[in-house]
Amino acid sequence: MRAPQNREAVVRAIEAAGVVAVVRLQSATAGHAVAAALADGGVSAIEITMTVPGAVALIEELSASAPPNVIIGAGTVLDAKTARLVIAAGARFVVSPVFKPDILTACRREDVPAMPGCFSPTEILAAWEAGADVVKVFPATVLGPAFFKDMRGPLPHIRLMPTGGVTTANAGDWIRAGAVAIGVGTALVDPSLVAQGRFEAIADNARHFVHAVQQARASMSPAGVRT
């Protein structure tokens, strides 16, 4: 299956996948092996953060070489200039830890999904109305799944994705609470596993997260209510 190319198709693919891998590395050297392990484990949405040395070049390389169903995106994007740079390198979605309207504008001009980071209900709604495709709730560690459940009451139409504090133990809780997908960092791409070259263990982590999302969705009714 070919990776989707337009904004709406990418968003649908990320929702369907349910897991976005947040990749932070000390060096880009292991980037290809990490991406391959994630794809092998069933995680098809891979976010390369701008904190990785040589992140733009790595995004360009992975975009050209990743399996056809894998979507490579960019994370920790802090300004519109960087958004345009990573999109030109091949990023199919752009994630930020903060909400900056000019990043959303740059992404929409290139037909690329934007996922700004927000924390409060006011900020979440403002980002959605400004054109966010998915709102990254960050740091989700502080809020917990109950926050997502509460948000579904007044704002059921907004796509929310937690990042920060997501583990295999609570992954299903986020989905059942209303998250359209989960963003997972070190619990998925453990720096110690990367340092040891244990990429099969990363693939196993990916399988566990994918399974947790699938199980949570299977336990819900079509209306999104736990059965």
The order of strands in the sheet holding 71-75 is 114-115, 94-95, 71-75, 45-49, 19-23, 182-184
| β-strands 182-184, 160-162 pairing | unpaired
Helices (H) then strands (E): counts for the chain: 11, 9
Q: Determine the 3-state secondary structure of 136 from DSSP.
A: strand
Exactly one of 8, 47, 61, 200 is catalytic; name it.
Answer: 47
Q: Which residue, 143, 124, 144, is CA-closest to 135?
A: 124
Q: Distance of CA 80 to CAs 85, 95, 103, 149, Å?
A: 9, 12, 4, 32
Task: State the amino acid at position 162 in one-letter form.
Answer: P
Are 171 and 216 contacting, i.e. CB atoms less than 8 angstroms apart? Answer: yes
CA distances from 37 to 34, 45, 61 (A): 5, 12, 16
Q: What is the DSSP letter of 93?
A: -
Helix (H, G, I), strand (E, B) or coil at 183: strand
The strand order across the sheet containing 117-118 reads 117-118, 135-137, 160-162
| Candidate list 8, 15, 60, 136, residue with the active-site label | 136
Is 136 tagged catalytic?
A: yes
Q: Which residues are catalytic?
A: 47, 136
